[in-house]
Each structure stands twice: as C-alpha cells, then as structure tokens.
Structure 1
Amino acid sequence: MSVDEARAWLAEVISGPDRLRLESVDGAQVVAVAGPDCLELRLDGTISGPAMFWAMDLTGFVAVTVLIGPAPAMVLAHSSISFLEPAEPGALRVTAEVIKLASRSAVVDARASDHRGCLVAASTLHFALPSRAARAALRAEHAAQASS
C-alpha cells in the first residue's frame, strides 16, 4: 500500500481521522503521529500509558496491513511494552516496523517519541493473521465490490 492508500483505509477503520495521522510508509516501516487532542493525560499532566500503547498498537496494525492488505481477522496476540520516560503532553510520534512476517503471524517493533523527540516507549507486538487463503478471498471480495 502507498501512504495515500493506507490513509484512506485507516479513515475507514477508525473514527476521527485526526486521532492517528500517517506521515510515511516505507516498505515494512510506518511512521504516524497521534494526538495531541485524543491522548489521555495522567493526573501529573503526562500522556497516559494506555494512550501510548493504543498509538503503538494501531501503528503496528497499520504496518502489517500495508504489507498484507486489509485483514479484519488480524488480532494482537501478544505484546510487551517498556515505558522509558514520562511523555510530555502533545503529539506522539510512533515508528513501527514489521521485523518478521510469517504465514500466520507478524512481529512488529514500535517506538514512541513525545513532541520533544524524547523516546518514551518501546514495544514488541505479535499479531495473529488469518490464513493466506482467507486473506486472498477477502481481497477478491473487495475487488469485486470495487468493480461493481
């Protein structure tokens, strides 16, 4: 998928197009910016952990989708996240790269930086994928709908 195709697809699957804006798509790597308005803040004024995780999870999901095409049955199967620094309020920049793509799973490395450019979180995301046959059937269905 190109960055424009990924943006159009993302607008269909999440509400509020300003929640996550795709900056670039380069092969297996996607760069996106979340917020600042949609990111929940903790009582101390920093971006909450769940808000950072949401942005990293969604950016990783987009990175896999860019490579394999839309797969509604794709789910996050496992993840680990390290919160490294408090994230100052503002936009959160997330870089996600697919580091392993297999027939039924994908592994993504994601990193989040706050508006100062400070690395605030790092995550490994494991996505379970539908079978290749199921993905091919879905692509054929979408192509048929687009041509009608």
Structure 2
Amino acid sequence: MGLQMNTDELMVFLDREFPQVTGDFAIEDLGEMRIRTRLKVGERHLRPGGTVSGPSIFALADVSVYLAVLAMIGPQGLAVTTNCSIDFMRKPAAGVDLIAECRLLKLGRVLAVGEVLIFSEGGESPVARASLTYSIPPR
C-alpha cells in the first residue's frame, strides 16, 4: 500500500483542519503503519500538581493513531475515533515533552486499529498505553 501522505503533508493537514492544536504536536518519525509523535508540553497541558493531564495524554494517543491512519489512506478528515482504551501507568516526568510510539495493527476498508505507548522524553518506561479504533469513511 505505501504511504499516501508524508510528514509535511500531515502537519499542514493537521494545522488546517484542527487549528486549535496548532503547535501542540510534532511528527518525529513516520513509516508504513507506524509513527512517532511528540506532545510539546506547555502550561495548558498540566493539571494541579504539575503533571501532564489525562486529557492531554489522550490527545497525544488519539492524534498519533489519526495521523498514522491518514499517512496510509490519504487526507480523510472524517476518519473518526470509535473506541479508545487507555491505561495511565505512571506519572509523566515534570517539564518534559511526551513521545508516542504508535503502530497500526490493522488497516481495513472500514476500520483501523492502533496501539500507542507514551513515554516522557528520555524515559524508558511508558507512562501510558492506549489502543484505539478508527472508522474510515467510504471513498
């Protein structure tokens, strides 16, 4: 199948279609059925106690699978999350970005299933693990 969108095309698409998150995410690496993304952690991503909030961690997992799917199928703005399960396993390190390692486990005509491990930058143990299912719109 091969990649249908490259890193630059994905970031232009994300910035155009989701301007509310412009500047929050970066793509570190992209390959067939996989992507590594970064959440550029800022003050607005923190919860009381100074750790990254659960919704921000979820957003990184969700964006990672979304971009991995789009990289494979092309710019389909209406691909949507239909299911998510996330385990918050440990407190993220303070003051560092989060890195998501995502791989697509299945990419069908109608559904895509992805798995994401999220790490504090420089950390060896994941802070969260998520699995997401995306619905792919008919072409």
Shorter-normalised TM-score: what interval? 0.7 to 0.9
Partner of 2:112: 106
For the residues of structure 1 that align with 2:13 and 2:128, how far apart are their CA atoms? 26
Q: TM-score, normalised by structure 2?
A: 0.87
Q: For residues 68-83 of structure 1, what are the structure 2 equivalents within 5 Å?
A: 68-83=73-88
Residues matched between the structures, number: 132
Aligned pair 1:24/2:29, yes or no?
Answer: yes
Partner of 1:124: 131
For the residues of structure 1 that align with 2:51 and 2:11, how far apart are their CA atoms? 28
Contact 1:39 1:48 (8 Å CA) reproduced: no
SS class of match (1:119): coil
For the residues of structure 2 that align with 1:10 and 1:38, how far apart are their CA atoms? 21
Query: As a proportion of its length, which structure holds more helix?
Result: 1
What amino acid does structure 2 have at the position aligned with 1:123?
Answer: A
Which stretches in structure 1 are left out of the alignment for 5+ residues? 136-148
Contact 1:46 1:88 (8 Å CA) reproduced: yes
Moved more, 21-30 or 112-121: 112-121
Cα deviation, residue 127, structure 1: 0.5
Partner of 1:143: none
* Structure with bigger gyration radius: 1
For the residues of structure 2 that align with 1:29 and 1:67, how far apart are their CA atoms? 9
For the residues of structure 1 that align with 2:129 and 2:22, how far apart are their CA atoms? 24
Q: For residues 1-148 of structure 1, what are the structure 2 equivalents within 5 Å?
A: 1-15=5-19, 16-37=21-42, 40-89=45-94, 90-117=96-123, 118-131=125-138, 135=139
Which stretches in structure 2 are left out of the alignment for 5+ residues? none
Question: Percent identity among equivalent residues?
Answer: 26
